[in-house]
Amino acid sequence: MQGTHTPKGYPRSSFPGGTMSDCCTPDGSCSTGAAKGTTTATEDGIATVYTVTGMTCDHCKSSVTEAVSGIGGVLSVDVDVKTGRVSVTTAEEPDDTAFAKAVDEAGYELTGRAV
């Protein structure tokens, strides 16, 4: 949901009304200047692609990447904001519930595995 999330790692009090109202601009760019880039797998593992809603900019990408990267066993994360896909490589079979919780806590919704 555009403009209604407070990114992980930022105190709610630092944004008017406790939310980040100007994070995502209408053209999909990020007004916060968040870093771009993804983590690349360096080891073989299990690749899983999830669908995530609510991402609109590079800051959203960074927030989801950070949240998913914090799950044990994750080797790499690649977030594609335009398609709403999050590709994850894990050492073992991923725990979908753990991924859904991490994405939710970052302010987005994991709707399931991509088809």
Counting Cβ atoms within 10 Å, is residue 26 exposed (0-12), middle (13-18) or buried (19+)? exposed
Supply the pLDDT for residue 64. 98
Instruction: Write the CA distances from 46 to 7, 84, 94, integer angstroms.
Output: 28, 20, 8
- Residue 63 near residue 8, CB atoms below 8 Å: yes
DSSP string, 13-39: GGSGGGS-TTSB-TTS-BTT-PPP---
82-111: pLDDT as tens digits:
999 999 999 999 999 999 999 999 999 999
Q: Give the model's pLDDT for residue 22.
A: 41
Cβ neighbour number for residue 38 with a 10 Å cutoff = 13
Given this model, what pLDDT does residue 14 score?
A: 34
Q: What is the pLDDT of residues 2-23, one digit of tens each?
A: 344 444 444 433 333 333 334 5
What pLDDT sits at residue 24?
52
Q: What is the pLDDT of residue 44?
A: 72
pTM above threshold 0.85: no
Query: In this predicted model, what pLDDT tens digit does every residue of 35-87 receive, in sequence order?
Result: 333 333 345 799 999 999 999 999 999 999 999 999 999 999 999 999 999 99
